[in-house]
Chains A and B, each alone.
Chain A
Amino acid sequence: MRKHKKSNVAYYFLLPAGILIFLFFFLPVILTILISFTDMSSVTGFSNWSIVGLNNYFKIFVHPDSLHIFGQTMIYVSCTLIFFNVGMGLLIALLAYHLPKRVGGFFRSLWLLPRITPAVVYVLMWKMLAADAPYGVLNELFRVPFGLPTTNLLPEHAMLFCILVNGYIGASFGMIIFSSAIESISSDIMTSSLVDGAGIFDRARYIIIPQLRWPLLFVTTYQTLSLLTSFESIMVLTDGNFGTEVWSLWSYHKALNNYYGNFQYGFGSALSGLLVVVGIVFAIIYLKYFKFGELVKEPLIDEI
């Protein structure tokens, strides 16, 4: 009797979460796929559309911009990932580890600032770093004193700035994960290697990094997906101008936000549908390979 009652009560606890997850995750995934099979746009409206099958996906394939935007996306994702989310994250974690605790902690806090700063404010800072003299900080500090010509750096090096802006946010994720992984390496190994005569470079190379294999893999896969799909700071920074339109931003522009007011919901959904599929595949890979199975084990005691 009582047991039966108990197994029902759980569903009341889960009901609010369930409804929200249904409305804003499940339903949208299905809707994205369904809409991508239609020609719905602001021309057809919400009532006059028709089903066009895989036509939108075929359109992506032959679209003159596809290849270019795909290439931009690859450059953006791989450079940010390699140099910042993984590379810089690891570098900051390693360097901060070798400093006294308070100083190291200071740098870790400093590097977390870009992540907690509201995106628009953060991008504003970068815009002003890049701006032309006399306002731009980089121009005023590093070019004017040397008599070098100045210009607004953003349009000229747009992709570089997109990578920097996102990289300085992204590095902190790896930094935190790597820092705690380094801290957890047994201090015996850490000191004995130095006693044995390894320098701190050798120790980083032969002792620390090999121990970070799992965190490295985790950060790499997790951040690949984030970078592939997030476009917020690029949108505020360049809005996709100067060759910085990436795939996720392209889909957003097509379906929800462009100057022409011609919203192609079907085509946009097909673009983001591809990302949704990639997202699902990645998410399932995490579940399989990062031992999440252990995390979902049964509660220990529950038998009253």
Chain B
Amino acid sequence: MKNKKQPIELNKIIIFIVLLILSIPIILGYLWLIISTFAEVTHGLLPVDRNGNFGGFTLENWNFIFEKEVWLATWNTLLLALFMTVGVVAVSSLAGYALSRIKFNGRKEFLSLTLVLHAFPSITLLIAIYFVLKFFSGIPVLKLFMGYNTIGGVVLVSLAMQLPLGIWLMKGFFDGVSWDVERAALIDGCSRFRTFWNIMFPLVRPGIAALSIFSFMTGWSSFIIPYTFLSGGAGHEVISTYLNSMMSSDTISINYNLLAAVGLFQLIPILIFYFFNQNYLMKIFSGGTHGGV
């Protein structure tokens, strides 16, 4: 008996160490980012000053905060994330409600379609979507807020790509609400839309919260869609594309510590959301997001 207990404890320590070793790249990557943000230069993980001596702690990497360009990019990122979130939640909960509660012709087909699209890699459609946005750009008023090279266009594309997940998620949440309240409202003569808006919508608040947080994080981090459909340059950048252009610029010598600061700047809201909502997010991720592998 005695012998049996000890190896199990030892096993646990070995397992812990193996997990730690496997996690090294993640840990090192994050350490580098955080240390570099506050150092003049970083050698490996060691903060040093310009002469290579240990030390050199500074906040000067954060001076970018005073540049207008960064705030333009941040503003655009915020617009993208917010409008996309509102759009995804609105459109998905409308559709999710109908799919969960109303019987209609084509319901089964629409649901299957949602599922197929959920599995379908929408990233392969970027070339064709470019043509769709170019087409919007040719329409007089529309071109200002949903054409190529507008934040609106990027919002629409990002929104659409989230829909298969969003609809499926919201349908699940509506499925979980008891039918009694709704039936009472409908019998009293409440219209479907009022029932949805006044009664059901408040009841699926947890689902809305989960989907909002997820959409906001997706919009805030997104790179490939804004990179493809915004031309770049002043006013047409989000933080991701701004950071990417700093990273790949050949002309000026790259200041890695500045990159780290901008990176952390983009990362902080994500980490805050993640810290408080891990359980929600774990569930959504296992529901299968696509893209990003």
Bound: A255/B288 CA distance, A: 29
CB distance from B95 to the nearest CB of A (A): 4
| Contact residues of B between 1 and 51, Cβ < 8 Å to A | 8, 11-12, 15-16, 18-19, 22-23, 25-30, 32-33, 36, 42-46
| Contact residues of B between 172 and 201, Cβ < 8 Å to A | 179, 183, 186-187, 192-193, 196
CB distance from A256 to the nearest CB of B (A): 6
| Contact residues of B between 63 and 79, Cβ < 8 Å to A | none
Bound: A78/B28 CA distance, A: 26
Bound: A80/B293 CA distance, A: 10
Bound: A209/B163 CA distance, A: 34
**What residues of A have a CB within 8 angstroms of the CB of B95 in the complex?**
13-14, 16-17
**What residues of A have a CB within 8 angstroms of the CB of B134 in the complex?**
46
**What residues of A have a CB within 8 angstroms of the CB of B11 in the complex?**
98, 200
Bound: A300/B100 CA distance, A: 9
**What residues of B have a CB within 8 angstroms of the CB of A108 in the complex?**
282
Q: Are A6 and B28 in contact (CB under 8 A)?
A: no
CB distance from B131 to the nearest CB of A (A): 6
* B53 sits at the interface (CB 8 A): no
Q: Provided the pairs A9-B192, A116-B281, A251-B127 are in contact, do residues A223 and B293 lie with their beta carbons within 8 angstroms?
A: yes
Bound: A301/B187 CA distance, A: 14
For A279, give its contact among B113, B120, B240, B288 (CB under 8 Å). B120
Bound: A28/B179 CA distance, A: 38
Q: Are B247 and A120 in contact (CB under 8 A)?
A: yes
Q: Are B111 and A276 in contact (CB under 8 A)?
A: no
**Majority DSSP secondary structure for residues of B touching A:** helix
For A24, give its contact among B29, B161, B240 (CB under 8 Å). B161
Identify the stretch in A55-63, A152-160, A171-179 within 8 Å (CB) of chain B at 4 or more residues: A171-179
CB distance from A167 to the nearest CB of B (A): 8
| Contact residues of A between 224 and 257, Cβ < 8 Å to B | 225-233, 235-236, 239, 248, 251-252, 255-257
Q: Are A112 and B111 in contact (CB under 8 A)?
A: no
Q: Are B91 and A20 in contact (CB under 8 A)?
A: yes
> Across the two chains, which residue of chain A brings its CB closest to B8?
A200
| Contact residues of A between 87 and 103, Cβ < 8 Å to B | 88, 91-92, 95-96, 98-100, 103
> Across the two chains, which residue of chain A brings its CB closest to B111?
A296
**What residues of B have a CB within 8 angstroms of the CB of A134 in the complex?**
43-44, 52
* A109 sits at the interface (CB 8 A): yes
Q: Provided the pairs A20-B156, A120-B240 are in contact, do residues A28 and B129 lie with their beta carbons within 8 angstroms?
A: yes
Identify the stretch in A65-73, A185-193, A265-273 within 8 Å (CB) of chain B at 4 or more residues: A265-273
**What residues of A have a CB within 8 angstroms of the CB of B33 in the complex?**
121, 124-125
Bound: A230/B263 CA distance, A: 22
| Contact residues of A between 278 and 300, Cβ < 8 Å to B | 279-280, 282-284, 286-287, 292, 295-296, 298-300
Bound: A103/B16 CA distance, A: 9
Q: Are B192 and A6 in contact (CB under 8 A)?
A: yes
Q: Provided the pairs A272-B127, A299-B101 are in contact, do residues A124 and B243 lie with their beta carbons within 8 angstroms?
A: yes
Q: Are B179 and A107 in contact (CB under 8 A)?
A: no
- A interface residues, Cβ below 8 angstroms from B: 6-14, 16-17, 20-21, 23-25, 27-29, 31-32, 35, 46, 80, 85, 88, 91-92, 95-96, 98-100, 103, 107-122, 124-129, 133-141, 144, 164, 166, 168-170, 172-173, 176-177, 180, 200, 222-223, 225-233, 235-236, 239, 248, 251-252, 255-257, 265, 268-269, 272, 275-276, 279-280, 282-284, 286-287, 292, 295-296, 298-302, 304
| Nearest 5 CB-CB pairings of A with B | A140-B44, A125-B29, A28-B128, A118-B221, A24-B160
Please name 27 pairs of A and B residues whose Cβ atoms are closer than 8 Å in the assembled complex, sorted by A: A6-B104, A10-B103, A16-B94, A21-B117, A24-B160, A28-B129, A35-B128, A109-B278, A110-B23, A118-B263, A119-B223, A121-B243, A124-B247, A133-B44, A134-B52, A140-B43, A140-B45, A169-B292, A172-B285, A176-B282, A180-B286, A223-B293, A225-B121, A230-B291, A236-B223, A269-B128, A301-B183
